[in-house]
């Protein structure tokens, strides 16, 4: 770790870099010479970073991106496969750490998360891409799952990520052919929320992060967790589960967003949904 304002520790510093900017934590995978391929050292550091940032008041929104011209080229095949041949225990430990940050923690993370896909995004990179709440890609970004060419399948929950992000036919096409697709094509298939020219990518991501910062953090977290979990429920189960989440939100929202927003809308006529945003900082 390095230190920042007032000598407060900043997590990361080796294969992961963290920069704070007005409540945004820019988290950068930092192995540009390897196109940010995720090796055991990076995965261990990323686990420490997401753990540290989850309750760091300098982080309202976490943005995940990559150094250089890549988001991440997937898993480091040499360090994960060749160097663990004959050592299933070592491979299991490496895999457990990778899974912990790439989807177990990120999927229901306490803070909003945005994947900023600045370049190459391959294989294992689809797992954290999918686990992040939102994603913006550069038009020039190149996506692909090339595992079929190495005699392996998209594991590490990559196949689950593709099934979540893509339609059935699109996912099978790219899994079975190993073909690549661009940021614009990723947007058309729903893999990312938006695709913009690379020169505009950081500013677009910053604007989205700022929009998320305007929302009540507890409301935002409850809404995203609710959405992510109802996908596997039937309608009756979802209705009951959402009823419970709504009640939980009423008791857990220390800012009282619901009552304040309803008062501002119904009584004070201060904003109109769809035409304006409730000001969390107003009395």
Tens digit of pLDDT for each residue in 11-38?
Answer: 999 999 999 999 999 999 999 999 999 9
- pTM, two decimals, is 0.89
Among 101-115, 169-183, 245-259, whose mean pLDDT is lowest?
245-259
pLDDT, one tens digit per residue, over 36-88 is: 999 999 999 999 999 999 999 999 999 999 999 999 999 887 776 655 566 67
- The more confident residue out of 279 and 216 is 216
What is the reported pLDDT for 282? Answer: 59
Among 23-37, 92-106, 175-189, 254-268, whose mean pLDDT is lowest?
254-268
Sign of CA dihedral 138, 216, 224, 38: positive
What is the reported pLDDT for 8? Answer: 82
pLDDT, one tens digit per residue, over 193-222 is: 999 999 999 999 999 999 999 998 988 999
């Amino acid at each position: 770790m390095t230190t920042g304002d007032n000598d407060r520790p900043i997590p990361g510093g080796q294969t992961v870099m963290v920069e704070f900017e007005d409540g945004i934590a820019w988290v950068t995978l930092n192995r540009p010479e390897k196109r940010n391929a995720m090796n055991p050292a990076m995965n261990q550091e990323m686990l420490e970073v997401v753990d540290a940032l989850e309750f760091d008041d300098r982080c309202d929104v976490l943005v995940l991106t990559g150094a250089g011209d890549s988001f991440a080229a997937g898993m480091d095949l040499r360090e994960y496969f060749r160097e663990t041949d004959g050592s299933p225990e070592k491979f299991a430990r490496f895999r457990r750490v990778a899974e912990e940050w790439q989807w177990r923690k990120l999927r229901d993370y306490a803070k909003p998360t945005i994947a900023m896909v600045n370049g190459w995004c391959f294989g294992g990179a689809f797992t954290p891409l999918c686990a992040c709440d939102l994603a913006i890609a550069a038009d020039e970004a190149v996506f692909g799952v090339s595992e079929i060419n190495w005699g392996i399948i998209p594991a590490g929950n990559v196949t689950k990520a593709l099934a979540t992000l893509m339609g059935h036919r699109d996912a099978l096409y790219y899994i079975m052919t190993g073909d690549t697709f661009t940021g614009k094509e990723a947007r058309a298939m729903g893999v990312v929320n938006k695709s913009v020219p690379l020169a505009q990518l950081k500013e677009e991501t910053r604007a989205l992060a700022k929009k998320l910062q305007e929302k009540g953090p507890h409301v935002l977290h409850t809404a995203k967790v609710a959405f992510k979990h109802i996908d596997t429920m039937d309608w009756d189960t979802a209705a009951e589960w959402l009823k419970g989440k709504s009640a939980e939100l009423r008791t857990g929202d220390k800012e009282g967003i619901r009552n304040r927003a309803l008062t501002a809308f119904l009584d004070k006529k201060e904003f109109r949904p769809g035409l304006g945003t409730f000001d969390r900082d107003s009395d």
